[in-house]
Structure 1
Amino acid sequence: MAATPAWPPRSAPRLFVAGPLVQDAQVTIEGGQAHYLSKVMRVAPGDAVILCDDETGEWAGEVNSAGKRDVVLTLRERLRAREAVPDFWLCAALLKKPNFDLVLEKATELGVAMIQPLITRRCVADKLNAERAATIVTEAAEQCARTALPQVAAPVKLETLLRDWPESRALFFADETGGETAAAQFAAHSGPAALLVGPEGGFDEEERALIRAHPMARAITLGPRILRGETASIGATALWMAVSGDW
């Protein structure tokens, strides 16, 4: 006798929607998400769709109807509560659009709690499209089965970030001129933390001196090679997650 297939299947599409979601509620999906479900994934009545709301967690919904303009589901079961993520911020200088898009995507996949874009003197960009950034992190969270979206803050100048920095949060500064070994510094720390990464051309000397003078800043080295901004952000975040136990 054949085994009963698992429900919902692991291949079920996954979407973030507005919450809060509750047991047995009917949820109507419209717009681009409805097009994705009906035309790309070709869902039909009885199929499963996984919904997350960044509040209550992850739910299995059953498709009631799938039309051209909307898809209607009934929530059958809560699969997981909203996950707890490490209290880790990524403070990354703005880069060229494709490079910063990569930072947003991979930081989400790696589990950061917040992404703080920075404006520094050598930045090639000084603006961030908030709607585009939200779409990137949401799609990344859907892809990696994350149930908690990272916060993407509005860009701020480096001087503003340092002036308003919380006294309870360590600020690990990826300094290409040298510092303590990142892995050792991460392992020795417990509590809220953040990583500060510069732009394509790095911080200038005045900015570097300002950072090093900050009481919560800790200069770290990411190895013998000069890394691109997106590489430093992704690599150091992965290292933090490995050392802190999230991996």
Structure 2
Amino acid sequence: MRANYKMQRLFVPDGLGPDIEFDVGPQQSHYLSHVLRLGEGAEILVFNGRDGEWSAAIAAKSKKALHLKVMKLQRSQPPLPDLVYCFAPLKQGRLDYLVQKVVEMGAGILQPVITQHTQVAKPGIERLRANVVEAAEQCGILAVPELREAERFERLLADWDRERRLIFCDEDASTNNPLPALQAVRERKLGLLVGPEGGFSDEERRMLRALPFVTAIPLGPRILRADTAAVAALALIQATIGDW
């Protein structure tokens, strides 16, 4: 069932079920009361990434909080998409955009990776989580992707599940057409690795190309910024071997 885009959606940490009641936090209360101007009895949709999506009514209002009462299940909880998105952290504005877009495009796990040319060695995980939740709220996503702590490039490859095909965007590819390489992939478990603005180093490309579970793909004849490459690569993967 597709999301109901006519109703406001809200991510909450609380457990959800019939007749459960709870207070939402100050920021969410302010947004619902003062931005959307919702009063007692107004209905919204709530989800927590575990229990599906439920309708809920504003049961009471105060200056500090809104009290919600859960009513009826609207959509059952789906599993997380089985797609691991690995990315070199960028500077903040572009990183916010990247995280939001890959959530929209169907990533199930977001894995920051520190490469030789990575610009940001310690990304702000809490800010990234906030972007994950915001994208899920806006786009009707119930299975909120998992965001992992940053990992070194070498450790990522050493610990990688050999049964999961890892596709990486190779700016040094000898062709502009990614379709033959993608269409040759037979695994259903997939991962995507996009490098930093400066690209992968020669050593990192050699390491990737030497691994049997890795597939290199080009992204056409133009040079793309890393956040653009993320969206382009995910669109290609979802359209050829993904869930589109």
Note the aligned Cα RMSD (angstroms): 1.8
* Structure 1 equivalent of residue 188 of structure 2: 191
* Structure 1 equivalent of residue 156 of structure 2: 161
Note if contact 2:182-2:241 (Cα within 8 Å) is conserved in structure 1. yes
Q: Paired residues, what number?
A: 240
Partner SS state of residue 12, structure 1: coil
TM-score (norm 2): 0.92
Unaligned segments of structure 2, at least 5 residues? none
1:31 to 26, 29, 36: 26
Note if contact 1:19-1:55 (Cα within 8 Å) is conserved in structure 2. no
Task: Show the 5 A alignment for 1:12-51.
Answer: 12-51=7-46
Task: Give how far 1:66 is off.
Answer: 2.2
Task: Give how far 1:27 is off.
Answer: 2.2
1:237 matched to 2:234? The reply is yes
Task: Give how far 1:241 is off.
Answer: 1.9
How big is each residue's C-alpha offset from its partner over 1:64-99, in whole Å with a ceiling of 9 and x where there is no partner? 112221111111110001123431111111111111
Partner SS state of residue 171, structure 1: strand
2:178 to 178, 182, 187: 182
Q: Distance in 1 between matches of 2:174 and 2:45?
A: 45
Task: Give how far 1:245 is off.
Answer: 5.2
Q: Distance in 1 between matches of 2:49 and 2:71?
A: 18
* Structure 1 equivalent of residue 135 of structure 2: 140
Task: Show the 5 A alignment for 1:1-247.
Answer: 10-178=5-173, 181-189=177-185, 190-244=187-241, 246-247=243-244
Task: Give how far 1:100 is off.
Answer: 1.2
Q: Distance in 2 between matches of 1:197 and 1:179?
A: 18
Note if contact 1:38-1:67 (Cα within 8 Å) is conserved in structure 2. no
Q: Distance in 1 between matches of 2:174 and 2:160?
A: 21
Q: Percent identity?
A: 38
Note if contact 1:179-1:219 (Cα within 8 Å) is conserved in structure 2. no
Q: Distance in 1 between matches of 2:180 and 2:21?
A: 50
TM-score (norm 1): 0.91
Q: Distance in 2 between matches of 1:149 and 1:25?
A: 21
How big is each residue's C-alpha offset from its partner over 1:210-241, in whole Å with a ceiling of 9 and x where there is no partner? 11112211111111112111111111112222
User: In the alignment, residue 239 of structure 1 is paired with which amino acid?
Assistant: L
CA spacing shift, 1:85–1:185, aligned 2, 3 Å = farther
User: In the alignment, residue 198 of structure 2 is paired with which amino acid?
Assistant: G
Task: Give how far 1:158 is off.
Answer: 0.6
Partner SS state of residue 106, structure 1: helix
Task: Give how far 1:187 is off.
Answer: 3.6
